[in-house]
Amino acid sequence: MCSCLSQVQQSGYSLCVKKWLHALHVGTIHGENKIRINFSIKFNEDGKSRLNLPPMFIQVLKSKIHRVTVTEANVDYIGSITIDPILLEAANMIEGEKVQVLNCNNGERLETYIILGERGSGVICLNGPAALKCTVGDIVIVVSYASMEFEEAKRFKPTIVFPNTSNNTLI
């Protein structure tokens, strides 16, 4: 008999789950080690099993504004990045969306969220602490990601825009 954490038996078939759990982190709650894993095991008519795990999701590039110029940096603002709505619409991004900002001038990378700027202004303004990671005139790349099933991700095509870096307008 297996001394594993859990055992599945049907038609004389045993499956030791301990091996699967070996690499998983076991959290401690009130002094007790507890773990929760969602999976099921189905048995075919011939007694062979098939493990059914939840679908695997991966993070993939959803949208990218490639190389825009920082027009403002406002340390005293609450936080975020202000972006011209014309750029957002072209890149399939929305207000409040989490983004990564990659500074091409100094290599800094940061995460923040989008707020809407004035339409047609070409504004790219880093606010709050993010303003300390750039200076006006720096070239940045703004990217967002989406979670999707592995097979869907293989077919997915991100939206990428290449604005004019001199005025942040679409070419």
Pairing of strands 32-34, 109-116: unpaired
Give the chain's count of helices (H) and strands (E). Answer: 3, 14
Q: How far apart are the C-alpha atoms of 1 and 30, rounded to whole Å?
A: 30
If DSSP codes are grouped into helix, strand and coil, which group holds residue 168? Answer: coil
Catalytic sites, residue numbers: 80, 113
Structure tokens at 5: 């954490």
